[in-house]
Amino acid sequence: MENMFVFLTFSYLCIIFQKNMQETKPITKYRLALREKILTTAMTAFAKNGIKAVKMDDIAQSLSISKRTLYEIYDNKELLLYEGIKRYEQEREAEMKRLQSNKANVMDMLLQSYKVKIEEFRMTHPTFYTDLVLYPKVQAFLENNKDKYHERFMHFLKQGVREGFFRQDVDYELVTIMLDAIGQRIMNDQLYRQYTIEHIFKNMVFVTLRGFCTPKGTRAIDGIL
Digit-coded pLDDT (tens) for 102-128? 777 888 888 888 888 888 888 888 888
Q: Could you give the count of Cα atoms lying within 13 Å of 109 in the half-sphere of its Cβ?
A: 24
CA–CA separation, 199 and 191 (whole Å): 10
In the predicted structure, residue 43 carries a pLDDT above the cut 90 = yes
Lowest mean pLDDT among 37-41, 135-139, 202-206: 202-206
Query: Which of 141, 153, 166 is CA-nearest to residue 113?
Result: 153
pLDDT of res. 186: 83
- Please tell me the pTM assigned to this model: 0.74
Which is it for the CA torsion 100, 101, 103, 109, positive or negative? negative
pLDDT of res. 27: 54
Digit-coded pLDDT (tens) for 131-149? 988 999 999 988 888 888 8
CA–CA separation, 140 and 145 (whole Å): 9
CATH fourth-level superfamily of 1-75: Homeodomain-like (1.10.10.60)
- How many Å separate Cα 178 from the centre of its chain? 24
To the nearest 10°, report the CA torsion of 41, 62, 67, 46.
40
E strands, 153-209, in order:
none
How is the chain split into domains, by residue range? 1-75, 104-225
